[in-house]
Each structure stands twice: as structure tokens, then as C-alpha cells.
Amino acid sequence: MSKALWRFLGKRLPSGRLQDTVPIMAVVLTVVILTLLPQPLRAEARQIHGNVIRIGADYTIDRHSSVRGNIIVFGGNISIEGELAGRAVAVGGTVRVEGRVNGELMALGGRAVLLRGASVTGRVSAIGGGVERAENVELIGEVNSVSLAHGLRVPDFRLFPFRARSVPVYALYLLGLYLTVLAVGYLFPEHVRNATRALAAFPWRSLWVGTLSVVLILPVSVLMYVSVAGRPLIMVSWLVFLAAKMLGYVAAVLFVGTSLTGRFGLSGCWALDMASGVLILGLIRSVPYIGGISGAAVFFFGLGAALISRLGMGGMWFSPPAKCRMAKKAKSDLKTKDA
């Protein structure tokens, strides 16, 4: 084939491996040319029928496509430029609409953004980020917008640079947080005490259990949604997750506060310990860069401690087997006898 090609071109035959690479180079050049062709020349309208589920990835309906079904995305964003006949649900992401939607839009822990020219026939709900609506948007349906940032009105308080005007409002925010933590502590004292003990006894185990639970909560929810029998358990699992998150934060606050007041011989009063913990964690959160890392650490450590202590109900999950504990105890007894 290469010889006939070179003779047709009126060229002299190259020798060696160069003669064999000519067809390969021609094929590669053809593929590159086809790839570089303008996209509209190869664009075709697509129609997708059925439900779409994505985990940790974005999903986009382009201008030339339409989807008839529900779209559920965990840990990603949904962008609708074409048409959608069904629901669009983003958990931990943003739903952005520029095309036409005949169904419900829902963003849990994110925003619902309606761009110019969008047309939505159905309810639009956003919990955590709120609903943003541009001009010339055709919306036929109810709007439910719950924005935590706008609802709490928490100022952008930073120690560096310091803003004196934000101190009173931020102090009120810390006071409300302290009262919430104090109420949980006095309503569920044994649960908080057990979770705090688990955090003090097994800090690193609490860290990896909390991290693992955050990684697995979305895939487990998807598996339960796929199975018909597991769908009622989705709400239960998320309620347990939120309860563990709250209990873990209270336990972390009590642990930090007790560690601080214990150095000054003031430990023993939960009100003082929790006040110290809320104040210290609040001041650390206001430091740039360090605040975000400390907040994530408190979340993972506290969540893991709450799960290890079985939501503070006594006993320990993920504890070493009884044989291992007996062996460790025997070794410690031998060391004390030798001493």
C-alpha cells in the first residue's frame, strides 16, 4: 500500500522503517483533522429517556439535547441548557438552568440559579444556598428558598484584618451557638459525656471513622434509593448522620473547653467548659486558612466520636476485640510486677 501511494505521488521510495510509518502517519493525520473540525458540523440532537444518577460528578444537558426523566446528582452540579421533562435534584451542588424545565428543581446544600431566558414549570426549592433568579425568567410554580448565610446574618468576622463593626454581631452569633450547645448538653448529658470520652480515648480512631462516614454516606444513599426496600431508610440514615454531627460538635466543644479550663483548675462546670470551647473554636475559625482546617478537623473528629460511642448511648463501636484488650491488660500487669 505504501509503495503504490509513493508511486502515485511520483516520489522515490524511502528505505527502511520510514516506508512502513507512512500509512500510520496518514491515519493519525486524518484523525487529527477530523477532531479539529468545528463542533457544530458534528453536533446532533440527543434525546435521553430514563433517570440519570451521578455521584461526585457534574451533569450537563446541552442546547441540542433533551432528557425525559429525573436527574439526581450527589456531590456535583446540574446544568440545564436544553430541555428537561422531570425532576432535577442536586445534593451538595448547584442547579443552574438556562433552558426549559417541565418539572421540579431542588438543591440540597446548594443554590438554584435561573439564568436569563430560562423557563421553569414547577416548584423551585433550595436549602442552604437560596434561589437566584435573573431577569426575563419564565417561572410557573412555587419558590422555596432557605439560605443559611442570609438567614443567620453572620458577618465576615476576621481577626486578620480586624473589623470592629462585626464584633457585636459575631458575639451574638457565638452566644446563640453557645446556648444551643448548652441546651444539647443539659438535655442529653449522658450522650454528650460518652461521646466526649470516646473522643478523648480514641482520637485517631474517631478521625478515620468520621472521614469514612462522610465518604460513604452518599454512595450508601444511592444504593438504598436504587433498592425499593431501602428508600424509607434514606431519611433515617441522614437523620442519624445529622444527629451524630450535632452530638460530635458538642462533644468537641466540651473536650476543648475542659482541656482549657483544666489547666487553670476551673474544670467541673459544664457551662464554663462549653463557653470556653465555643469561644476558642470561634476565634480559631476567624483566622484565615487555619480556620477552615480547624473547622474540618472538629467536624471529622466529633462525627467519628459520636459514631464510635453509638450516638452516646453507651458502649463502643469499632473497639478492639476482647482478646486484644485482655492481652494488653496482661502485658501491663507483667510490667507492673517487674517494676
Q: What is the pLDDT of residues 23-58, one digit of tens each?
A: 555 544 454 444 444 443 333 457 888 888 887 778
Residues of the chain with pLDDT under 50: 1-2, 4-6, 8-11, 13-14, 16-19, 21-22, 27-29, 31-44, 149, 151-155, 320-331, 334-338
Its pTM surpasses 0.85: no
Half-sphere exposure of 303 (CA within 13 A, CB side): 20
Looking only at the bridges linking them, the beta strands covering 119-121 and 138-140 are parallel
Cβ–Cβ under 8 Å, residues 309 and 198: yes
With beta carbons less than 8 A apart as the criterion, state whether 316 and 200 touch.
Answer: no
Three-state DSSP state, 139: strand
Q: Look at residue 303 in the predicted model and tell me its pLDDT.
A: 92
Encoded amino acid at 161, one letter: P
Rounded Cα distance between 156 and 267, Å, is 32
